Chains A and B, each alone.
Chain A
Amino acid sequence: MTERLRVHVDPDKCQGHARCKALAPELFELDEYGNAHEAGDGTVPPGLEDKVWLAKANCPEIAIDVIEE
C-alpha cells in the first residue's frame, strides 16, 4: 500500500455539525463559527486512514472528499 490520502472539506456544503473534528481531531479544524476545514494541506498522515474514512462516513452534509493519490 503506497497510496497517499488527502482530505478536503467543501466549505459550501459544511454546516458545522463538527462530526469530523470529533472523530478525527488531527485532521480537521473549526473556524470561529464552528465550520470545519482540513488541517494543513489535507494530507492524511500514515495511521490515520481509518479515521478519515470514518469522518467522511459520518458527515451529514456529505461535505468531505477523500482523494486517493
Chain B
Amino acid sequence: MSDVSQPAAHPPVTDWVNDFDHTDPQWTKDPFPIWDEMRAASPVVHTERFLGCYMPTTYEAVREIANDTKHFSSRRIIVRDVRPEITSRNAAPPITSDPPEHKPAKQLLLPPFTPDAMKKLEPRMRAICNELIDGFIADGKVDAAARYSKYIPVQAIAHMLGIPESDSDLFIKWIHMILELGIKDESKLLQAVQEMSAYFIAHIEARKNKPTDDLISYLMNAKDKEGNPLEDSHVLGSLRLLLIAGIDTTWSAIGSSLWHLARTPVDRERLIAEPEVMPTAVEELLRAYSPVTMAREVVKETTISGCPVKAGNMVLLSFPAANRDPKVFPDADKVVIDRRENRHAAFGLGIHRCVGSNLARMEMQIALEEWLKRIPDFRLDPAGTVTWSQGTVRGPRQLPFLLGKAM
C-alpha cells in the first residue's frame, strides 16, 4: 500500500500470555505457535493493551462467547487503541447490531447471498479470474496477492452492488485504512469511512431517479418489519459493511490457499488429479488459515470456561485460534485436504455467521480451480518476500511466485 503514515508504537511483546498484542510483527508473521502457547496457559487470556482485552484461545471458549449476546455486545467489532463514544446505531448493520435489532437487519441481507443466488454469479467469477490470469501468465512470475487474489472479491462485490469494478483500487485503499491503519490511527479510519459514505451516497442518489437491479437498489427498496423503508443511514451502513466485509476477507483466504499450494506440491497435484476433493480442500484451507478475527465488548461481568471476564474490556474473538484447537481438530496444525469432519468456525458461530459465507466459498473454489487449470506448477520466488496483513484479517499482502516447472 502507498500510505506511509506511521502507526502508534507498541512495545514488542515479551509475555504472550499476559501481555498479548495481535498487531505485534511476530504475531503478524506467524501467529500459530503463539496461540498454542496461550491455549496451553488458559482458555481465556488477558492483556492490558487496547484499554483491556481478553482473548479466548479454545474452540469451546470462542463458542461460548459467540453464543452469548447478553454479556458480549457487537457494537464494537474491531479491537483498537482507542474506544470513542458510539454515536451511530447504524454503523454497519447487522454485524454491529445486537438483539433485538440484529435479526431483522440480517434477514434483509440473507436472500441475495443464498447458495442458489451465488450459483448465478459463477460464470462472471470464472471470467474475472481468467481476465486476471491473462494479465500476467506470460511473465513467468507474479505477485499473486497484488495481481490475483486481491481483485477477485473486489470485483465480485462491485458486480453485486452495481458499482464500477474499475473503482477497485479505491475500495482496497479504504479497507486498508479501516482494518489495518485504523487500529492505531483513528483519523485514518474516519477519513476512509467518510470517503466511502460520500461514494455510496452519490450512488444512492443516482438510483433515486434511475433504479437498478443491484444490491444498492435492493436495500433502498427493502422494508423493515413494520413495512417502512429502511432509514438512509441503515442502507448506507449495510453498504459499508458489504464492501468492508466482502473484500479483504476473501482476498486473504484465496491468498493463503495459494501460499499453501505453492509450498505443498503434493496437495496441488492431488487437486489437479482429483478435482472432486476441491470442496473439502476449501473447507480445510478455511479452517487452517481462517482470515477473520472479530471482536466483542464485555458489557456485563460473567465467566467463560471458568475464567472471569469484566465489563469494559474488549474480546479478541479469534475464530482462527479456535480452528487450531487440537481438542476439536485432530492434527490441528496440519492441512489435511480431505479432512472429513470439519466443524470449523471460519465464518463465525452464532447469530453473526458471515452473511457472505456462500459467496466466499464460491469465490475461493473458482479462484483455485481456474488458477490450477492454467497454472498447475508454481512456487514461492526465493528472491521475493511474503508479507502478511496486520490485525483483524490475516492474509498475504505480497505473494511472489515463479510460474511453471522449476528448472
Contacts and interface: CB of A to CB of B under 8 A. Distances in A.
A33 B114 CA distance: 7
B111 A32 contact: yes
B265 to A, nearest CB: 28
B115 A60 contact: no
20 contacts: A15-B349, A15-B353, A16-B110, A17-B353, A18-B114, A21-B115, A22-B279, A32-B114, A33-B107, A33-B114, A34-B113, A34-B114, A34-B358, A54-B340, A54-B341, A57-B340, A57-B341, A60-B344, A60-B347, A60-B349
A30 interface: yes
B114 to A, nearest CB: 4
Contact of A15 (B116, B341, B344, B351): B351
Contacts of A61: 349-350
A66 to B, nearest CB: 14
Nearest 5 A-B pairs (CB), nearest first?
A33-B110, A15-B353, A34-B114, A57-B341, A60-B343
Interface string B219-245: 000000000000000000000000000
Interface in A30-69: 30, 32-34, 54, 57-62
Interface of chain A: mostly helix, strand, loop or mixed:
loop
Contact of A58 (B111, B114, B115, B341): B341
The listed residue with most A CB atoms (<10 A of its CB), out of B114, B345, B349, is B114
Given A34-B110, A59-B343, A17 B357 contact: yes
The listed residue with most B CB atoms (<10 A of its CB), out of A18, A34, A62, is A34
A34 B351 CA distance: 13
Nearest to B109: A33
Nearest to B339: A58
Nearest to A54: B340
A17 B110 contact: no
Contacts of B345: 60
A16 B283 CA distance: 16
A22 B342 CA distance: 13
- Taking residues whose C-beta sits less than 8 angstroms from the other chain, chain A's interface range is 10 to 19
Interface of B: 107, 110-111, 113-116, 279, 283, 340-345, 347, 349-351, 353, 357-358
Contacts of B344: 60
A61 B107 CA distance: 18
B161 to A, nearest CB: 19
Contacts of A21: 115
Contact of A33 (B111, B349, B357): B111
A32 B110 CA distance: 8
A16 B354 CA distance: 9
A21 B353 CA distance: 16
A1 B392 CA distance: 50
Nearest to B344: A60
B114 A30 contact: yes
Contacts of A58: 283, 341-343
A33 B130 CA distance: 31
A18 B342 contact: no
Contacts of B347: 17, 60
B115 A22 contact: yes
Nearest to A50: B340
Nearest to B361: A22
Contacts of A15: 349-351, 353
A18 B111 contact: no
B58 to A, nearest CB: 15
Given A18-B358, A34-B115, A57 B351 contact: no
A12 B171 CA distance: 36
Contacts of B113: 34
Contacts of B283: 58
Contacts of B115: 18, 21-22, 30, 34
A16 to B, nearest CB: 6
Contacts of B107: 33
Contacts of A62: 343
Nearest to A61: B349
Nearest to B340: A54
Contacts of B357: 17-18
A37 to B, nearest CB: 14
Contacts of B116: 30
Contacts of B351: 15
